[in-house]
Homo-oligomer: A and B are copies of this chain.
Amino acid sequence: MAANWKEKMLRSCEMTENYLKDCVAKLSAPEELKEAMLYSLLAGGTRLRPYLCLAFCRLCGGNEQDALPFAAAVEMIHTYSLIHDDLPCMDNDDLRRGKPANHIRFGEANALLAGDALLNLAFESVLCSNLPADLVKEGLAVLGQKAGACGMIGGQTLDLAAEKITPDEEMLLQINRGKTSALIQAACVMGCVAARADETKKQAANAFGEALGITFQLTDDLLDVRGDETKLGKPIGSDEKQNKTTFVALLGISATEQRAKEENERGKEALSCFGPEKEELFLLADWLLERES
């Protein structure tokens, strides 16, 4: 089963990357813009979100092909957010996944536009789906809600505001629900939408996505204090250096570990309405909890 799960992850990664390449290739847009978009789209990463979108579609009895434009859309949003996040006025990061950040490679103005273009293209990708118009509308509504001011961008705004104060645990949770969980939730719920799943399953997918996002952030904070720099590919202790308030700083290591385990369990429990094939998602959740990078 474990091997089977990783195979599925690799396959959805390949499907998504091929789809992303096609999506950009067929645009009658300036070549330099397409190059900047593809540079970041194809820079690697776990493709966690597309995998979740396709997996939930499968678990709800749908056809993965129907969910592919949705999965690609979520990955486009994720990619644009990284490009804009790396800009000097935001996190000012020169490197992303070991490669020069988009603005280092193409200049700030082009990076800004490549990000805007990917955000725009995400909504167009959903429209490319062959699903009936009402499902396309529903998928778009989920994406818009989770990616926008009430979701990811809202979380980023709170995160900026938190630089000036010391956030408490509830605010930290709120920031991470926006910054990390929201887009993961979009992926999970949109997979259900593509499979015409009922409201119960969509709500379960939403709760699972929220917990997975929080677990991801908790383990991220833990890795930053006790990770292996060679496995992590980046120096540890960067949160403290940047004066960033983390769960570890607020709760300590052992309580943060405990919270991560609890969130992981909460996520699994949310999936009670799904059949035994949900085991695949349990393995993914455990992998995220125990990851070393």
Contact = CB atoms under 8 A, between A and B. Distances in A.
Contacts of A116: 80, 84, 115-116, 119, 153
Interface residues of A, number: 50
Given A32-B161, A137-B127, A148-B120, A156 B113 contact: yes
A172 to B, nearest CB: 15
A120 B117 contact: no
A55 to B, nearest CB: 25
A89 B108 contact: yes
A150 B27 contact: yes
What is the copy number of this chain in the assembly?
Answer: 2
A112 B103 CA distance: 14
Interface string A36-57: 0100000000000000000000
A124 interface: yes
Contact of A127 (B33, B109, B115, B140): B140
A194 B89 CA distance: 39
Given A29-B149, A121-B149, A112 B90 contact: yes
Contact of A30 (B89, B132, B161): B161
Contact of A136 (B121, B133, B161): B133
A141 B120 contact: no
Given A32-B157, A112-B84, A149 B133 contact: no
Nearest to A155: B30
Contacts of A203: none
A124 B112 contact: no
B134 A120 contact: no
- Helix, strand, loop or mixed for chain A's interface? helix
A20 interface: no
Contacts of A136: 133, 137
Contacts of A121: 144, 148-149
A110 interface: yes
A288 interface: no
Interface string A265-289: 0000000000000000000000000
A125 to B, nearest CB: 9
B127 A141 contact: yes
Which 9 pairs show the lowest CB-CB distances between chains A and B? A89-B108, A133-B133, A29-B149, A120-B148, A124-B144, A33-B157, A117-B149, A123-B123, A29-B154
Interface of A: 27-30, 32-34, 37, 80, 84, 87-90, 103, 107-110, 112-113, 115-117, 119-121, 123-124, 127, 132-134, 136-137, 140-141, 144-145, 147-150, 153-154, 156-158, 160-161
12 contacts: A28-B150, A29-B148, A88-B89, A90-B109, A109-B160, A110-B160, A113-B157, A115-B116, A116-B119, A119-B119, A127-B141, A133-B136
